[in-house]
Structure 1
């Protein structure tokens, strides 16, 4: 098969499309002929040498893919060769084939084409696990999403609105904020021009956010606590703004707040399977009904992954950037 290899850490041009050994599905795995994958920030960090794949994962980037089942490993039931699927991966999506633990496999939702399905597994799993399974967002509460126009952000807006929450977003341009509004965002904050904590407080009559989904990390920690409502929950899923920040424990205690940091890629297989099962139960019906849709900025050939990485690093996209085989 062919895969996008990383001969050494570096800029996007280091990505090399090369012939590599075919994967063989192990016990409990399914082999998928890949039709599309998607670019995630973790792929960029891996290319730069800052986010190695977990033990046992393929060395190639790609945390999600869509395609057709090519073969079943021993002990797999419930899937058949030819099934159209999408999958949450620990790596290996930038390739023509990938072996996937069966518990991380999802059917392509009705009404979604096979290529577009590659935009769903990682964002749906990340948002559902963090916003709902960890932070327990409830109807009537306010969710603040940093990076509202990102792949994660566009999914978070839609899922939160679908369960009856109010949604605030930050983004860096009027155009991106309007795209967020079109998806259902209620409160729009331009982080380049406005103090998001102050603006959120004003928009909520001083109440703040019940749940904050944060991709920034250290740089936003102080302001996130300021923006938090009493009994609020902050879930940190990224470190684009650094990994070390100062936490005012007294301010957090006064709000009876919680700060949780999570990752998805390195979780044990059983935890990932539980998250994927929850996504299939709760998110897939919303997609099949049309209430939630994949948001795709563009699709480029997988061999042009370097161009896709550059585009994502410039943060000009809204939603997901796909790579097609």
Structure 2
């Protein structure tokens, strides 16, 4: 099968499509003939040599896919060959085939395009596990999302609104903020032109902040919280270190958490995907939330896909079509 690995840490040009053995599904696994693979920030970090793979994970890129069940391993009764599915992976998605734990696989929601479904699993699992799980979201609360128009932002805005929340977002341009408004965001903050913390204080504060920036935002994130607010850090795009005023944190009765999805145990991922099935899939099938795919590239153009992803100019997901490898 054709699959993508990297020859050496660096830019998009280091990504190579090569011929590798097709995986075989083990007990409890299914083999998926991949239709689409979603791009994620962790893929870019992995390419640069700045992301350690979980123990035992393949060095083939890709954390989420959609496709068709090709085979089922021993002990799997929940899927059959021919089923259209989407799956959350530790790695291995930029390929024609991938073997994955059956508990991390869900049927493609009715009415969702098979290729576009590739952009659902990682963002849905991230928002559910961090906003609903770690963040303990309740309807009526305000969630601030840093990064309005990336995959997590675009999906998170819609999901939080659909489940009864109020959404504030930050972005660097008016065009990105308008896209966020169209998706349902209530509070739009251009972080280049205004202090997001001051704006959030004026808006009553955030109950939850979903933070992809990390260190440089720590102090202002605390300032932006409502009493009993929760900061959930899922990325470090701005750096790994920041200053924390414990007096301010204690006065807010607030908390700061940091989480990763990729290296969670198979059991934890199974629980998260069950929550995605319960909370997210019905909203997709009802049309209350939708996939937003900006560009689709053939697998053979993976370097171009990464180059565009790195510009941070996209709104929504970038997907590789793994059915086109030449």
Once the two structures are superposed, the pairs formed by residues 67-86 of structure 1 within 5 Å of their partners are 67-86=67-86
- Aligned mates of 1:150, 1:17 — CA distance in 2: 26
In the superposition, the TM-score normalised over structure 2's length comes to 0.98
| Matching of residue 100 in structure 1 with residue 100 in structure 2 | yes
Residue aligned with 1:283, SS: helix
Structure 1 partner of 2:233 = 236
User: 1:241-280: per-residue Cα shift (whole Å, max 9, x none)?
Assistant: 1111111111101000011100000000000000000100
Structure 1 residue 149: Cα displacement? 0.7
Structure 1 residue 136: Cα displacement? 1.5
- Aligned mates of 1:59, 1:123 — CA distance in 2: 21
User: 1:200-225: per-residue Cα shift (whole Å, max 9, x none)?
Assistant: 222x1xx2000000011011111100
Contact 2:200 2:225 in 1 (8 A): no
| Matching of residue 252 in structure 1 with residue 252 in structure 2 | no
Equivalent residue in structure 2 for 1:300, among 297, 300, 316? 297
> Greater shift after overlay, 108-117 or 50-59?
50-59
Structure 1 partner of 2:91 = 91
Residue aligned with 1:276, SS: helix
Root mean square deviation, CA, Å: 0.8
Structure 1 partner of 2:54 = 54
Structure 1 residue 52: Cα displacement? 2.6
- Aligned mates of 1:294, 1:249 — CA distance in 2: 40
Structure 1 residue 163: Cα displacement? 1.4
Structure 2 partner of 1:281 = 278
- Aligned mates of 2:63, 2:225 — CA distance in 1: 31
- Aligned mates of 1:303, 1:256 — CA distance in 2: 51
Structure 2 partner of 1:39 = 39
Structure 2 partner of 1:264 = 261
- Aligned mates of 1:275, 1:282 — CA distance in 2: 10
Moved over 2 A (4+): none
Structure 1 partner of 2:221 = 224
- Aligned mates of 1:3, 1:197 — CA distance in 2: 44
- The count of residues paired between Structure 1 and Structure 2 equals 322
> Greater shift after overlay, 119-128 or 292-301?
292-301
Structure 1 residue 77: Cα displacement? 1.3
Equivalent residue in structure 2 for 1:312, among 309, 313, 322? 309
- Aligned mates of 2:53, 2:99 — CA distance in 1: 15
User: 1:130-162: per-residue Cα shift (whole Å, max 9, x none)?
Assistant: 001111111111110000111000111111101
- Aligned mates of 2:185, 2:221 — CA distance in 1: 19
Structure 1 partner of 2:135 = 135
Structure 1 partner of 2:178 = 178
- Aligned mates of 1:155, 1:137 — CA distance in 2: 16
Residue aligned with 2:75, SS: coil
- Aligned mates of 1:18, 1:312 — CA distance in 2: 22
For structure 2, the residue ranges without an aligned partner over 5 or more in a row are: none
> Greater shift after overlay, 84-93 or 292-301?
292-301
In the superposition, the TM-score normalised over structure 1's length comes to 0.98
- Aligned mates of 1:303, 1:219 — CA distance in 2: 37
